[in-house]
Amino acid sequence: MADTVAAEATGRSACPDWETTRAALDRHLESVLADVEQTWRRLARGVRPGVIDADDLPLLLARMVRSGGKRIRPAMVHWGWAATTGVDPDREQAQRETMVRVAAALELLHVFALVHDDVMDQSLSRRGQPTTHVGVAALHRRAGGHGDAERFGESIAVLVGDLAHAEADHLVAGLDAPLRDTYRTMVVELVQGQRLDLTGAASGRRDLDHALSVARAKSGAYTVQRPLQLGAQVGAAAPGLQQALEEYGHHAGAAFALRDDVLGLWGDPERTGKPVGDDLLAGKPTVLLALAAERLPGRWRPLVDGRAVTPLHPGQVPDVLAAMVEAGVRDEVEDMIDVEVRAAERALQQAPVRAEAAEGLLAMARAMAWREA
**Are residues 205 and 285 in contact, defined by beta-carbon separation less than 8 angstroms?**
yes
Residues 334/261, Cβ–Cβ less than 8 Å: no
Per residue in 246-288, pLDDT tens? 999 999 999 999 998 999 899 888 888 777 787 888 888 899 9
* Averaged pLDDT, 109-129: 92
**122 pLDDT exceeds 50?**
yes
Kind and range of the H or E run holding 304: helix 301-304
Whole-model pTM: value is 0.90
Q: Which CATH class is domain 15-175?
A: mainly alpha
Backbone angles phi, psi at 357, to 5 degrees: -70, -35
- The topology (CATH level 3) of 176-373 is Farnesyl Diphosphate Synthase (1.10.600)
Could you check whether 15-175 and 176-373 share the same CATH topology? yes
Three-state DSSP state, 235: coil
CA distance 220 to 344: 13
Band (pLDDT 50/70/90 cuts) for residue 54 is confident
The domain spans of the chain are 15-175, 176-373
End-to-end CA distance of the chain: 34
| C-beta of residue 22 within 8 angstroms of C-beta of residue 74 | yes
User: 187-227, pLDDT tens digit by residue?
Assistant: 999 999 899 889 988 888 888 888 888 888 877 889 999 99
Find, among 284, 304, 286, 289, the residue nearest to 198 by Cα.
284
Residue 161: burial class (beta carbons within 10 Å; 0-12, 13-18, 19+)? buried
